[in-house]
Amino acid sequence: MGLPALNMLICNGKVFLLALILCYLQFGVSEGQLKVGFYSQTCPNVESIVKTIVRDATLTNPRMAPMLLRLHFHDCFVEGCDGSILIDNVEDPEKRAFGHQGLGGFAEIENAKAKLEAECPGVVSCADIVALAARDAIVLSGGLSYQVETGRRDGRVSSESLAADMPDVNDPIQTLKSKFMNKGLSEKELVLLTGAHTIGTTACFFMSKRLYNFTGINDADPEINPDFLPSLRTQCLINGNVNIRIPLDALSNEKFDDQSLRNIKNGTAVLASDARLYDDSITKQVIDSYVGFLRPVSGPLFVQDFPMAMVKMGRIGVKTGLEGEIRRICSSFN
């Protein structure tokens, strides 16, 4: 073979190899995206299995639905939606961070994982189980169903130190907005996701500053409706039991509706961070668009827009394709 022919063969080979690499990368990207029905061929019963676990757990424990919803939020806000909140076999796991106090639903996620491992081992990620369980919890509480994108992989990092930027109940509005925007979420999505506080409870531990020492002079948050303040103080006594739990929405605590936004507007929000949404012109306008007096008859409905915020939150920092792993046990790295 002459030198020109050999050079041409090498050149063509490089072009072919480059084409193969580009094709592989394109295939890898397309396969690495979240999508509805990701497990339709590999584990077709995944959604029904998770749904059954969530339903049974909720029937046993009325607090389970809000706990599973909160678990998904807390997972996504640290290292992305990768199941890192579930890990407990490292020295300082993420779940021990101050902002994660009171989380629950871990056993239910592990139960679902065990059943899925028995049916389709090594296929379904713990991160996807958390996302599916949150949707089912919303539906069981009367919220609208929505399609959950799946295909997440489980992360290999879980550290208490990484949870420092979790939204906090005492954050001012600008800090809350910044923390959400850092995750790619808008002011509207901040309002919508906060609206999830229409179900669930909180501990008096998170109320002491707001009720008794808001500015450091033994005072209460002035945004609390004066008619509502005595009720809160009766439930969370000064120097009382900080583990007592009170409903986030006393009017419809087990029903997924827009009442939490109405509470913010009326000064009867329980958490300080919820009340702060009425301190900002943009988030106030969003709230009023859902529950304000001038809301158009055909205006937006919170229960219809909430699922879109959940889907977007579920995309935060996801690991797909060859990233991460599929854990055998949700609480432990492989």
**Residue ranges of the binding site for substrate:** 167
Question: Of these residues, 74, 183, 188, 265, which one is catalytic?
Answer: 74
Would you say the C-alpha torsion 16, 17, 21, 22 has a positive or negative sign? Answer: negative
Q: Are 271 and 248 in contact (CB under 8 A)?
A: yes
Residues 6 or more apart whose Cβ sits within 8 Å of residue 331: 86, 87, 88, 89, 106, 110
User: What are the DSSP calls for 205-274, one per residue?
Assistant: GGTHHHHH-SSSSS---TTS-TTTHHHHHHHS-TTS-TT-EEES-SSSTTS-SSHHHHHHHHT--SSHHH
In the residue annotation, 72 being an active-site residue is answered as: no
Q: Which residues of 90-118 are buried (b: 16+ CB within 10 A; e: fewer)?
A: eeebbbebebbebbebbebbbbbbebbbe
Q: Are 289 and 129 in contact (CB under 8 A)?
A: no
237, HSE (Cβ side, Cα atoms, 13 Å): 3
User: What are the DSSP calls for 22-54, one per residue?
Assistant: HHHHHHHHHHTS-EETTTTTT-TTHHHHHHHHH
Question: Residue 159: helix, strand or coil by DSSP?
Answer: coil
Tracing tokens 């992989």 back to the chain, one arrives at 153
Distance CA 138, CA 156 (A): 28
Binding residues: 75, 78, 80, 82, 84, 94, 167, 197-198, 249, 257
Tokens coding 81: 């939606």
Tokens coding 27: 């295939």
Largest CA distance in the chain: 95
Q: What share of the chain is helix, strand, coil (3-state, %, to 5)?
A: 50, 5, 45
Residues in the chain, overall count: 334
Binding residues for heme b: 197
Q: Which residues are catalytic?
A: 74
